[in-house]
Structure 1
C-alpha cells in the first residue's frame, strides 16, 4: 500500500481550512437551508439496510473534501490489494484474506501460486457435515447419549465474535446449549462445570496458534476433569475438537486429526468468525443460516470493492469518523444498538476497531502526530438512556454516535418495540437539534410550568451533537453479515488513511511476556526480573497471603 503521510496531503490541508468555516455551524441551520438533505445524505443497500449520515456536522463540501482525502491516500488501490492477497500485513509479512472466506462466487484467489478456494471450501464442507451430525443427534458422546452442550474455549477473536453472533441470532437458535469460556479466572470455569454433563458436551478449543495462555490453561483443566469422569483417553475423540493453524500441537494435546478444523495465518483473530472459528455459530444456528451470514458479508464486500466512494457506505462512515476524531478532536465513538440481541455488538466493534487501529507508529516507523483509532464504547437500547446519555446531551464532550436498530422485532409483545423505536428516533433528533427545533413549543421548554429563567438554563439542550443511523428490517443472518462487514471495511478504510498497519497487534504482547515472567517467579519462588518498586510492592503483598 502507498506510504503517505495524511496530514501532508492537499486534501487534509483543505479540510483543516474548511473546518474553521464550519466548526460553529449548527445542524438546525444545515437542515433549515436544505430540505433535501436527508435525500442526498442517506443510502440504502439492497432494500436491507438504510444508513442516514445527514445528522452530521458536514456539508456537501465537507464530503467532497473527505472523498479527496480518500483519493489522495490511494484508498482504491489499497482495497484492491487487500482483496487480491498481497501481503499488506507488513510487520508480519502476511496477506489479509478474511474476505476469501465468504467468496460466494468461488472465483480463484491465488496465494503463493495456488488457488486457496478449494481448501476453504473443504473446511466449509467439513463444518457443514459436522454441524449437521451434532444437531441431528447422529454424533453421540462416549456413553451413547446425544450431544446437548457445546463449549467454545477461546479468547479475544476466538471468543468474542462467535459469542456476539450466537447472541445476536438467538431467534434462529436450535436446541443446543452454547457456552463460551475465555477468562483465565477460575470462577468462570467453576460456573461452567456446574452446568454441563461431560457425557453430552463437546469442547471446541479455538486458538489460532494453540499456545494462547488463557485458552490452553482452560483446555487442559477441562481435559483433566473430563478424563476423571470418562476414565478413558480414547473418549476424547467424541468430545474434543480444535480450530487452529497448529495441527501438530492440537494432535499432541490429544485431539484426533479428523477433529481438527484448520485455520490459516492470513486470517486475523478479530476477523475469523467467517472461518472455522465460526464453528460454534454453525452449531448454534445450523449451517444454512451460517451460510447466509457469509452471503451478507460477501454482498457488503462487493459493495465496498466496486461502489464509487461517494455512495460507498463503509468509506463514508470511515471518513466521517476521521473528520470528528482529527478535526473536532472527539476521540471517542459510541455504538448504540436498540435491540437486546445486539447487546454484545458494541464490545465486538470495540475489539475490532481498537485492536486494529490503536497504533501510534505510521508505516514509515515514525510516531504519528494525528489521531488514529478512536475509543469505542456503547450499550444497548434505552438502558444507555438512563445511564450515560446525560453526558451525551449536555456534557462538555462531543461524542459521535452510531444508532443501530431493526424495524421489526422477533418478539413483538404488545407495543414494546414501537416504544423502543420511538426512543431510537427521538434520541437522534434530540441530539442533533436540542431545544432549537421546538423553541416555539412552550410545553417542551417549560416543564411542569416552571418558568424561572435560572431553572431553564439547566433544561437547555444545545443540540448539534452528531449521529449516524443504521436501520435494517430485521436481525437475521444475512443482515448481521452485512452489518459486521460494513464495520470491518470502515476500520480498514480508516487504517489506510491513518497510514498505519491495521492487521497486527503487537500492543498485546508486552503484558503477556511480563506476566509469564511473574508467573515463573511465583512457581519457582524467586525473582528473575527487577520490577519497579510499585509492582514489587504489590507482588510482595500478594505473597504475604499466599506463601
Structure 2
C-alpha cells in the first residue's frame, strides 16, 4: 500500500541533508573528471544517454538518493498511476497520458471504456484522415489539395504540439516525410491570428480547433476570427476545419467540422502531445508513420522509467538529483539548454509542463508544505543562450543547475568546414566547453574575470534528433516531473493556478468590476 508523505517526513530525506557537498571544481578536473563521466550515466531510449557527472553528487549521495526513492515508493506509485489509480486527487481523475503510446500495466477501464483501445482508435482515425488528405481524397471546394495545416489552441494544445512540429520539421524535409506546413494560432491577441492568416492560402488550409471542453474562450475567439476570414474569402469554413475535443463537448458531431477526433479528461493539456492533440497536426504535417515512430520512442522511454533501480532509470535519477538541488542545496531554478535549433521551443513546453505541474504550495491533501517545490524553468537553444543569459549563469549570485541536450549529428545533413572544423563540431565544442566552464570555473586575480565554478549540469546526448529520440526526450521530462511531484507529495496533474485570472477576465468583459480592477480595465480601453 503506497503512503503519500511529505518530503520532510521521510527519514532518508533527513539523512540526505547530512552529506558533505561535492566540489565540482575538483571532482571534474583531470583524470577524476574522466572517471566520473564514464561512471555517472544512465541509458535512455532511442540510443540516448543521460550523463550527470557534472552534478554535485558522489557515491554516498547517490546511495542516499536511491534510499529516498525506495522510501518515497516512486516505482510503485508510477505503477499505481499507469494501472489506472485516481492519482489526480484535485479533480478525482486517472492520469493516462502514458496509455496513448503503450500499455505499461494491465488494462485500464474508465467511463465503461478500455482506454488504451480508445486512444489507439483515435490514432487510427487520424491516420486514415491524414492519408485521405495526402492522397487527394479530401480536397477543398475547387478540388485542390490542402497544403497547410493550422492548429488553433492554447496552453498544452499549442506549446507541446508546436515544439514537436518544429523539432521534426527539418528532419522530415530531409527524409522525404514532409507533407504539409504547420502553423499555430494560440494568443487571443488578434495580431497572432492575423499574422498567421497573412502567410497562408486559406483556401488550401485545414484548421484544427483544439478544445477539450469546446468552451475555451481564447480558442473559440480565434476560431471565430478564422471563420470570419474564411467567409470573407468566399470559403465554407465547414470544409476547412476539424476538431479535437471530448466526446461530450458541443464540437463533437457538429456539422461545422469535416471530422472530430477525441481526447478525454484523463490527459492534461501539458501531457497531450502524444494524444489526438498532437496526433492530428503531426500526422497531417509528417504522415502518421512519423507520428507512430514518435510514440514508439516515448513508449520505450516509459518502460525504462518503470524500472525500480534509480541508477538505470534516467527519469527517476534526474528527478532525485533535481530534488536534492532544490531542497538540500537550495537552488531556485533550472535552465534547459538544448544545443539543437530544432528544439527551439522545447524549453517553453517544459516550462509549462514543469511549472504548471509542480508549482504548488499545498500537498495532495490540501495542506501547506513548508519546503520548496517546483523550480523556475527557463531556457533557450545554444549557442544563442550563451550570448544572452549565460553571464548570470556563470557569474551571478544564484547558482542555477543546467540541463543540456546535444546530438552528434544535425538533421539537415548539410554543413560547411571553416577553420578546420564543421558547424556541427563548433556547436558540440561549445556545449562541451560550457559544461566544464560551469563546473571548474577559472581562477583570476582580476575579480571581474574570475569564475567560481561549482555550477552543476547534466547532459542528454544522442546521435540525431529523430522522431524516436524526440519521443524519448518528451517521456523523460514528463516522467521526471511526475517523480518530483511524488517526492514533494503534490498533485502534479491539476492546474487551479490558471483559473482565477480567467474568472476575473470574464468579470471585466461583462463590466462587472469595481476598484482597481475597473481602473485597470478602463486604462486598457475595455
Say if 1:59 and 1:462 are closer, same or farther in 2 by CA, change over 3 A: same
2:26 equivalent to 1:28: yes
* Structure 2 unaligned blocks of 5 or more: 417-421
Alignment deviations for residues 487-527 of structure 1 (CA, whole Å, 9 cap, x no partner):
00000000000001000000000000000000111xxxxxx
More displaced stretch, 377-386 vs 112-121:
112-121
Alignment map for 1:199-278 (pairs within 5 Å): 199-230=203-234, 235-251=236-252, 254-256=255-257, 259-278=259-278
User: How far has the Cα of 1:342 moved from its partner?
Assistant: 0.6
Task: Give 2:441's aligned residue.
Answer: 434
User: How far has the Cα of 1:37 moved from its partner?
Assistant: 2.0
User: How far has the Cα of 1:109 moved from its partner?
Assistant: 3.1
Task: Give 2:372's aligned residue.
Answer: 371
The 8 Å contact of residues 25 and 441 in structure 2, kept in 1 or not, is answered as no
Hey, what's the Cα distance between the residues in 2 that align with 1:260 and 1:60?
A: 53
Say if 1:15 and 1:248 are closer, same or farther in 2 by CA, change over 3 A: closer
Task: Give 1:78's aligned residue.
Answer: 77
Alignment map for 1:89-488 (pairs within 5 Å): 89-103=88-102, 108-111=107-110, 114-170=113-169, 171-173=171-173, 174-230=178-234, 235-251=236-252, 254-256=255-257, 259-278=259-278, 279-411=280-412, 412-414=414-416, 415-435=422-442, 453=445, 456-488=446-478
User: How far has the Cα of 1:366 moved from its partner?
Assistant: 1.3
2:47 equivalent to 1:48: yes
Larger Rg: 1
Hey, what's the Cα distance between the residues in 2 that align with 1:127 and 1:107?
A: 25
| Equivalent residue in structure 1 for 2:482, among 492, 496, 499 | 492
More displaced stretch, 320-329 vs 290-299:
320-329
The 8 Å contact of residues 334 and 402 in structure 2, kept in 1 or not, is answered as yes
Alignment deviations for residues 227-250 of structure 1 (CA, whole Å, 9 cap, x no partner):
34336xxx4443111000155511
The 8 Å contact of residues 98 and 272 in structure 1, kept in 2 or not, is answered as yes
Alignment deviations for residues 397-422 of structure 1 (CA, whole Å, 9 cap, x no partner):
10100110111012331111111110
SS of the residue corresponding to residue 66 of structure 2 reads: helix
More displaced stretch, 483-492 vs 62-71:
62-71
| Equivalent residue in structure 1 for 2:514, among 509, 530, 537 | 530
SS of the residue corresponding to residue 92 of structure 1 reads: coil
Hey, what's the Cα distance between the residues in 2 that align with 1:192 and 1:37?
A: 49
* Structure 1 unaligned blocks of 5 or more: 437-444, 446-452, 522-527
How much is the aligned-residue C-alpha RMSD, in angstroms?
2.0
Hey, what's the Cα distance between the residues in 2 that align with 1:347 and 1:542?
A: 27
Alignment deviations for residues 256-294 of structure 1 (CA, whole Å, 9 cap, x no partner):
4x6010111111111111111111011111111100000
SS of the residue corresponding to residue 366 of structure 2 reads: coil
Hey, what's the Cα distance between the residues in 2 that align with 1:46 and 1:122?
A: 25
SS of the residue corresponding to residue 149 of structure 2 reads: strand
Hey, what's the Cα distance between the residues in 2 that align with 1:425 and 1:118?
A: 44
The 8 Å contact of residues 27 and 56 in structure 1, kept in 2 or not, is answered as no
Hey, what's the Cα distance between the residues in 2 that align with 1:105 and 1:255?
A: 38
Hey, what's the Cα distance between the residues in 1 that align with 2:406 and 2:368?
A: 38
TM-score, normalised with respect to structure 1: 0.89
Report the count of equivalent residues.
Answer: 512
Hey, what's the Cα distance between the residues in 2 that align with 1:538 and 1:365?
A: 33
SS of the residue corresponding to residue 468 of structure 1 reads: strand
The 8 Å contact of residues 246 and 252 in structure 2, kept in 1 or not, is answered as no
Task: Give 1:524's aligned residue.
Answer: none
